Amino acid sequence: MANEQIFVGLEIGTTKISVIVAEARADDQISILGVGETPSRGVRKGEIVDMETVTECVREAILDAEDKTNVEIGNVWVAITGSHLESFNNRGSLALPEERQIEPEDLDAVEISAKEVAIPTPNTFLHTILQAYHVDGNQNVIDPLKSEGAMLEADFHIVHGIKTRIHNTLRCIESLKIGIEDVVLSSLASAQVVLSQDQKNYGALMIDIGGGTTDYLVYIDGSIRHSGVLALGGDHITNDISVGLRLPIARAELLKIQEGSATDPAGSPGGIILLKNDPRFLGCDVDRTSLDTIIYLRVNEIFELIRRDIESSVEGMIDLIRGVMITGGGSKLKGIAQVAEEVFEIPVELTRARNVSGATQIFEDPQYSTAIGLTKYARLVTKNIAPESMLERFTQRLGSLFKKRSR
Amino acid sequence: MNTNPSRRILVGVGNAGVTVLDMLSVEVPGMTGLLAVNNDRDSLNASIVRDKIEVPEGDPGEGFRVIDDEFGQALDGASVVILCGGLGGETGSFLLPALAIRAKSTGLTTMACVGMPFSFEGKHRRDLAERALEKLQEICDAVIVIGNDQLSGGSPSTAAVGEAFLLSDRTLLASLLALSGMLSTSGPVKITRADIHNVLGKPGALTHFGFGKAEGSNRLHEALERAMKSPLLALPGKGSALKETSMILLLLRGAKDISFAEVQAVVGKIEQIAGDNCQIKVGVHADGPLGSPLELYLLASSGGTVRKPAKTIESIEPSEPIGSNRITLPQPIKSIREGEMPSRRAPLEKGADEFFPALTNPTSKSGMKPAVSPKQMQGTLALDTYQRGRFDKSEPTIFEGEDLDVPTFLRKGIKLNPPSRK
């Protein structure tokens, strides 16, 4: 068992904090040992607003995971989200002094040149993800290290965010005397387990609907072309129900889970939903069409916003997306796939972590996609065997860079 | 160039100051009351500013004579002088205090926007700059200090040296615009010279300055966000500097359609950051054509020693009871009809009306009495009656001017059947 490594993924979500403990097996698979979890307090829209409370919640979740797995957690991989995160694509270029074989240092240099762009002063780079190399105008060179040339260019997807907000997350974990292996964009983590390599190559949009945020990522030709965070999520649906039907938040949440449907209210069966009395709530009758209308409008709007963002980011990109994969706790809402199909006009699939083994009940729930994805990401970044794709080979190199930076 | 009709003179001193005035002339064509002062003939000749004074180099006696005579003449008819330049060089460090003394001796309100040198410019310049700044703060009624080091603190290390200086000049220009804009606010909501002195008249204080510009339906939030990103609004390791201040000056400049709700929203957001103990003084210039971008300027200071008002402060035209014009969020103006100005001491009544009075009269100068002119434009007051529910106290998610925390069905105006209680 000497080859086996333990990876811990920590997601500080708006609804819950989850800790996934997974074992990397020799056959390139991730096997989940267990999950620690606590309801989250002090997080709004994916960002920490109450440091003390969140730290306490994270401690509980870590202890819970340690209890369940008998693993002593020393280092974690952390997912990060929030509307402050922004992304763009940029090309770096490097003119070699003479025509020669490309060296690994050249790859580093071209990456640095791609990062020589002005980002807002409070921001810092989170990810620089390779899309493709070009040598002497020769597009999409698979392995530049084996080619000769005088001009090396590379396209990158660059993610940046506000330094202080990223630091908040780090500070919270460090105060628990837990080491941080790396910080990973939530959607990038989720994509590692919900998208297959074929889907990435074919062109896919992954949407992870959480409590406070909706994170999305576009893969085309096997590389990331766009990513985004929308500070809207399941909490907004609950809030809309609470405002529209004048229900307390807790009752609205329950109603959403039990009766909620995102399908077009034109097809709603109508009728009345009876809400029973309970000690803190006087019962009432709720009009189902009204409930459906509230949810449909919000969900439809979330997808519309994503579509518009993708359309405005890179021209023509939306036409290259062949399928939409929806994951996250929000994907459990009835009828959500139909609404997405209406908006994107391409096949939509509800999905969850795949290519993992272990405690199956855990990964069958889409709300753990990000935390499980973290462990898979960790595996890809740290393993020494040949990675399955160019992207992953690159993230591997990136991972070592990150470590240099964070220590 | 005897009498200056705007009664406000902006003086660019030294190479940096002249550059800033040139940038200003390009950005605001037709601006009057600009004066370039330098000892470098080439720089003066290259400048597009019309009025120039060359102070001869190497002969202090002659230099003082020129300042006394030519600069003194240029001050004729002015009521406020704003000096602008970089400290640290021989020119600015010497000329700025000298000109300030001359202006002050005429009894004018004298203010300055100065840049402090980068640390890479060396200790000598730093010392020179600090001594000059000390003098300036002693003399002037208000001084804005732009720390170049602080300013460049957040920029990528790959930034070119030229870019760093350009950023510094741009910030000086913005601070100059902010100060002169604040001085000419009028109407029921204005910033007085006493306010400016209160914030910027403390020797040794750190100036906190931010500005942002944006257009489109989400202009206000974007402008504020940009302004808040200014490195000069941050205290190292402490977060926003606004928390440490007792008074913030806020200037909004833009199109005629700046709405009361927008002003309220921005004040509310700043209050959230600065806390309840901070006074926010608001000035609005809503005189631009429709569609022109919204500019937002924030000025505050922290630390420093409080000084008694300089003598000339008392000579300000009696215009405004100090401290009467603070906007607080939950008090929408009810209704003010033309010519029927409420006593500005009276609290604004609660309630809502379709209209709000223009917050400024663009053509009136700081000295004029703040009467409401009959030409005042009116705009629609977009009342924020939406319910944000549980997101009430969280940072709003704004997209194209829409607050996405507000339920979609409310924003789209869809009617629902309310639940029936038994």
pLDDT score, position B123:
85
Contact: B156, A290; criterion CB under 8 Å: no
Shortest distance, CA A245 to any CA of chain B (angstroms): 6
Percent of chain A with pLDDT over 90: 58
Q: Choose the weakest-confidence range: A234-243, B82-91, B212-221.
A: B212-221
Query: Is some CB atom of chain A closer than 8 A to the CB atom of B415?
Result: no
Contact: B421, A245; criterion CB under 8 Å: no
* Backbone φ, ψ for residue A160 (5° rounding): -135, 160
Contact: B417, A246; criterion CB under 8 Å: no
- pLDDT tens track for A11-24: 999 999 999 999 98
Shortest distance, CA B15 to any CA of chain A (angstroms): 27
A18 or B259, greater pLDDT? A18
- pLDDT tens track for B24-46: 888 888 788 889 998 888 888 88
Please check the confidence at residue A311 and state whether its pLDDT lies above 60: yes
Please check the confidence at residue A115 and state whether its pLDDT lies above 70: yes
Most confident of A224-233, B204-213, B268-277: A224-233
Three-state DSSP class for residue A28:
coil
Please check the confidence at residue A363 and state whether its pLDDT lies above 60: yes
Which of B155, B231, B408 is nearest residue A240 as measured by Cβ atoms?
B408
The model's confidence at residue A113, banded by pLDDT at 50, 70 and 90, is confident
- From the candidate CATH numbers 3.30.420.40, 3.40.50.2300, 1.10.238.10, 3.10.20.740, the one assigned to the domain spanning A196-350: 3.30.420.40
- pLDDT tens track for B225-246: 888 877 788 776 666 778 778 8
pLDDT score, position B219:
80
The model's confidence at residue B153, banded by pLDDT at 50, 70 and 90, is low
* CATH code for the domain defined by A86-161: 3.30.1490.110
Contact: A285, B418; criterion CB under 8 Å: no
Q: Using an 8 Å CB-CB cutoff, list chain B residues near A232.
A: 397, 404
pTM of the entire predicted model = 0.56
Q: What is the average pLDDT across B96-108? A: 88
Please check the confidence at residue A129 and state whether its pLDDT lies above 60: yes
* Residue among A41, A240, A286 with most chain B CBs within 10 A, to mutate: A240
Burial label for A346, CB within 10 Å (0-12, 13-18, 19+), is middle
**Predicted ipTM of the assembly:** 0.83
- Please report the residues numbered 376 through 395 in chain B whose beta carbons come closer than 8 angstroms to any beta carbon of chain A: 387-391, 394-395
Query: Is some CB atom of chain A closer than 8 A to the CB atom of B410?
Result: yes
Please check the confidence at residue B275 and state whether its pLDDT lies above 50: yes
Three-state DSSP class for residue A66:
helix
Average pLDDT of every residue of chain B: 73
Query: Is some CB atom of chain B closer than 8 A to the CB atom of A45?
Result: yes
B63 or B350, greater pLDDT? B63
* Spatial distance between the Cα atoms of B173 and A148, rounded to a whole number of angstroms: 50
* Backbone φ, ψ for residue B239 (5° rounding): 85, -145
**Which amino acid appears at position B195 of this protein?**
D
CATH 3.30.1490.110 boundaries in chain A: 86-161
Which of B229, B391, B407 is nearest residue A244 as measured by Cβ atoms?
B407
The model's confidence at residue A400, banded by pLDDT at 50, 70 and 90, is very low
Most confident of A47-56, B37-46, B168-177, B242-251: A47-56
Average pLDDT of every residue of chain A: 87
- Please report the residues numbered 111 through 170 in chain A whose beta carbons come closer than 8 angstroms to any beta carbon of chain B: 116, 118-122, 164
The model's confidence at residue A60, banded by pLDDT at 50, 70 and 90, is very high
Q: What is the average pLDDT across A225-245? A: 93
Q: Of B289, B85, B93, B326, whose CA–CA distance to B198 is shortest?
A: B326
Q: Please state, in angstroms and as integers, the Cα–Cα distance from residue A101 to each residue in A107, A130, A144, B241, B266, following that order.
A: 12, 20, 9, 52, 57
pLDDT score, position A117:
81
Which residue ranges form the domains of chain B, and what is each CATH number? 1-183 (3.40.50.1440), 190-385 (3.30.1330.20)
A331 or B168, greater pLDDT? A331
Q: Of A399, A400, A406, A397, whose CA–CA distance to A107 is shortest?
A: A397
> How many beta-carbon contacts under 8 Å exist across A and B?
103
Q: What is the average pLDDT across B130-134? A: 89
Contact: B399, A305; criterion CB under 8 Å: yes
